[in-house]
Amino acid sequence: MIIRPIAHRDYEVLRRIAVESGPGFTSLIDDRDFLERKIQRSIDSFARSVSQPGHESYLFVLEDEQGEVIGTTAIEASAGLDSPLYHYHRSRQVHHSRELDLYSHVDVLNMCNHYTGCSEICSLFLRPQFRRAHAGKLLSKVRFLFMAQHPERFADTVIAEMRGVSDDAGRSPFWDWLQRHFVDLDFATVSRLVGAGNKSFIAELMPKYPLYTHLLSDAAQQVIGQVHEKTRPALKLLEAEGFRHRGYVDLFDAGPTVEADLAQIRSIAASVECRIEPVASHQLPPVEGTPLIVANTRVDTFRAGLAERALYLPQQRRLQLPSQLVAALELDRGDSARFLQLPASPVRAVPDSHAVPRKQQQEFMYAS
């Protein structure tokens, strides 16, 4: 499996992924103009010389051994610059009457733009029919290798908007309440509008004053800050990287947004830059534990993949890899690369995975 920047030839499969990901996955919507603009923006971003983060958007695709695109993952260099990035912030207000010796406290949701300008990891989707061991982790962690190598392209704070709770029909309990009282649009329509950048209705129709959460329906209250069941393993991966929830939730499904300092993300801090030495595969020992994720250090011709056989010589900062993998990563002897060992965790069964052997089933489908 190899990860590379998206290209124009990937349009058709990206559109299939936009359909497969379903409502609520607002970073990919089934709209030709939107997807073509997204691909072009990514190509332009990878080609651009950058000294500080701006309007860049980096979209990667994961190919299997047959060259089939089986997943996507992305980084927004500065979220909220092209269109407003809205959240609700959950906090507690205390009301106290000294004269009556009474007090009460209520949880409230305040609309804000707190994360404008932060870098955002997003668009992680592993196609259900291609789930396999390590594919999801590769999609998640490749972004950190790219960010570690090119920190000038990203902000000091990195966020991830996690997909909130919705049912099989794509209905969000949180949005159902907002739709009933404020915006008479279904959740799928709202997702398409937001994904396409049409957010004027937020300022025009959404409530501008704090929402007292106890006035919401029970179903809406229960999902505030909760993630979709298929997103839980992805959230655990990010929490293991040091991401934390600070009370900010999505405006439409109330899914949590998590954040971390760029330099403190564990995979970034633990990644190692080295020189590459190609070796015949049979001459290398299997990697102890989980495979390594290895990436070249370029931008527009970025490539990353997994190494199950490798030998690192720390004193020489030299990594020996199978010659076939070195070629797939478009590397040569002496070229610079960056690597990281994937974390060990049990592989879990997932729904609708009957076409894949259980031991190869990947534990999550999408993150954000």
Whether 314 contacts 337, CB under 8 Å? no
CA angle 102, 106, 110 (to 5 degrees): 140
Residue 43's CB is within 10 A of a number of other CB atoms, namely: 17
Instruction: Collect contacts of 267-271 with beta carbons under 8 A, ≥24 apart.
Output: 267/141, 267/144, 267/145, 267/148, 267/241, 267/340, 268/144, 268/147, 268/148, 270/340, 270/341, 271/144, 271/145, 271/148, 271/338, 271/339, 271/340
Q: H-type helices in the chain, by residue range?
A: 11-21, 32-47, 135-149, 173-181, 187-195, 200-205, 218-222, 232-241, 266-270, 323-328
What angle do helix axes 32-47 and 11-21 make, rounded to 10 degrees?
120
CA distance 94 to 106: 7
Alpha carbon separation from 50 to 57, 127, 297, 333 (Å, rounded): 12, 32, 15, 28
Q: What single-letter amino acid sits at 166?
A: S
Q: Are 170 and 22 in contact (CB under 8 A)?
A: yes
Query: Cβ distance 6 to 123 under 8 Å?
Result: no
Q: How far apart are the first and last CA of the chain?
A: 21
Phi–psi pair at 42, nearest 5 degrees: -65, -45
Chain centre distance of CA 347: 20
Helix (H, G, I), strand (E, B), or coil: what is residue 367? coil
The residue type of 150 is H
354 is catalytic: no
Catalytic residue chosen out of the listed positions 87, 114, 134, 228: 228
**Rounded distance, CA 191 to CA 197, Å?**
10
Question: Among all residues, which ones are annotated catalytic?
Answer: 228
